[in-house]
């Protein structure tokens, strides 16, 4: 196995303290939003196998020998690339309100933009690749987010209690149509409204939310970060979710969501495909967004890990590109054998465990090629990322 060096990305919404506190390093004063662990070309992990070549990108090592690193089954099923990207995510302010396409939508959208010659780095490009992006976030601290649509009646009540005249047409729409049509009509109207009129509506709604507090406090906070943004109203259509440490949330295709605050371990299929609904200065492609969003009310399904006899605590998800589990190692416990025929990344988030002969501290991680002996010992908490091949 190989110790990983990983890049921390300084997105503006990142916390200035959460990742440094976990790593035991001084804060820089700049936001530190995500630490990427994997082989994504945007910021691949690096490792040194001691052959005099120094540190190499994990992506280059996999490219040079995909079956040796990923195993035959993984390579046959997903191709010659690591199918997942693991992250430490630290939200100090709200991320953009967004959705991800399913696999067919991603393939179609990517092919269409390629055919039309849209540069892959163009700010109005929607599809950076032909893959879907299901994801799972597991809280390390209390974690706050938005996930999936509320029932139309519930959303109507939330908007009505703000007592803002400009919101009353949306309340009427939510009452006037069946669920799917009501949610589609209102989101379409919010995102298609005159920008100046919507900015004034958001300002008035934010002031009312600030006065009311309670259930409205998250939306008042969002509005302080994104004054006048139509995403503030769109956010009120969604369920507000609070995770406790160890709890997780799975986000499938077409489900609108946003992370608001907290530190977590995130894992996703290896994709950059994001369609934004608001809370961002970036491009919002409303027609394509409306094609991707699933307009159905859902109750957020908060996941808690299922423990096995081996001590592995698994977060069950319905997809194969990633499999996330956790080991909590108590003093004096016997070593855990994690050897498997799929590739693994092991990430320490607490304590002082050992992965094989490598000592880990919080934030430390290793890559284990398929079939290589992998053993955990010592004390602490280790997340295990692999695939279902």
Catalytic site positions: 276
Buried b (16+ CB within 10 A) or exposed e, 139-167: bbbebbbbbbbbbbeebbebbbebebebb
* Tokens describing residue 284: 């919002």
Query: Using alpha carbons only, how large is the chain's radius of gyration in Å?
Result: 22
CB 250 within 8 A of CB 317: yes
124 three-state secondary structure:
coil
CA distances from 171 to 146, 200, 329 (A): 20, 18, 51
Q: What dihedral do alpha carbons 169, 171, 177, 183 form, nearest 10°?
A: 100
d(CA 84, CA 86): 7
Strand partners, 84: 269
């Amino acid at each position: 196995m190989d110790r990983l060096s990983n890049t921390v990305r300084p997105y503006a919404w990142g916390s200035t303290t959460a990742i440094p506190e976990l790593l035991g390093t001084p804060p820089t004063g700049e936001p530190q939003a995500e630490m990427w662990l994997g082989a994504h070309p945007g910021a691949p992990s690096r490792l040194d196998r001691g052959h005099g070549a120094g540190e190499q990108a994990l992506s280059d090592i996999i490219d040079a020998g995909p079956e040796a690193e990923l195993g035959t089954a993984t390579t046959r099923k997903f191709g010659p690339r690591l199918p997942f990207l693991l992250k430490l995510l630290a939200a100090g302010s709200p991320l953009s309100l967004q959705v991800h396409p399913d696999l067919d939508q991603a393939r179609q959208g990517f092919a269409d933009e390629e055919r039309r010659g849209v540069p892959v780095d163009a700010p109005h490009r929607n599809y950076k690749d032909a893959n879907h992006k299901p994801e799972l976030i597991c809280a390390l601290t209390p974690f706050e987010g938005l996930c999936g649509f509320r029932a139309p009646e519930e959303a109507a009540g939330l908007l009505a209690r703000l007592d803002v005249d400009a919101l009353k047409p949306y309340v009427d729409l939510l009452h006037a149509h069946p669920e799917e049509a009501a949610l589609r009509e209102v989101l379409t109207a919010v995102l298609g409204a005159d920008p100046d009129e919507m900015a004034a509506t958001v300002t008035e709604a934010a002031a009312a939310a600030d006065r009311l507090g309670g259930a409205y406090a998250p939306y008042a906070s969002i509005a302080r970060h994104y004054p006048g943004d139509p995403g503030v109203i769109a956010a009120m259509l969604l369920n507000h979710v609070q995770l406790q440490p160890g709890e997780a949330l799975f986000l499938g295709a077409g489900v609108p969501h946003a992370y608001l605050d907290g530190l977590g371990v995130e894992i996703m299929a290896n994709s950059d495909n994001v369609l934004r609904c608001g809370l961002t200065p970036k491009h919002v492609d409303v027609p394509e967004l409306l094609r991707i969003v699933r307009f159905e009310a859902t109750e957020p399904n908060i996941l808690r890990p299922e423990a096995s006899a081996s001590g592995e605590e698994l977060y069950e998800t319905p997809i194969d590109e990633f499999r996330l589990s956790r080991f909590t190692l108590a003093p004096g416990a016997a070593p855990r054998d994690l050897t498997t025929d799929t590739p693994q990344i092991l990430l320490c988030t607490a304590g002082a465990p050992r992965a094989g002969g490598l000592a880990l501290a919080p934030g430390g991680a290793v890559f284990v090629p398929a079939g290589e002996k992998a053993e955990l010992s010592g004390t602490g908490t280790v997340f295990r990322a692999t695939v279902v091949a």
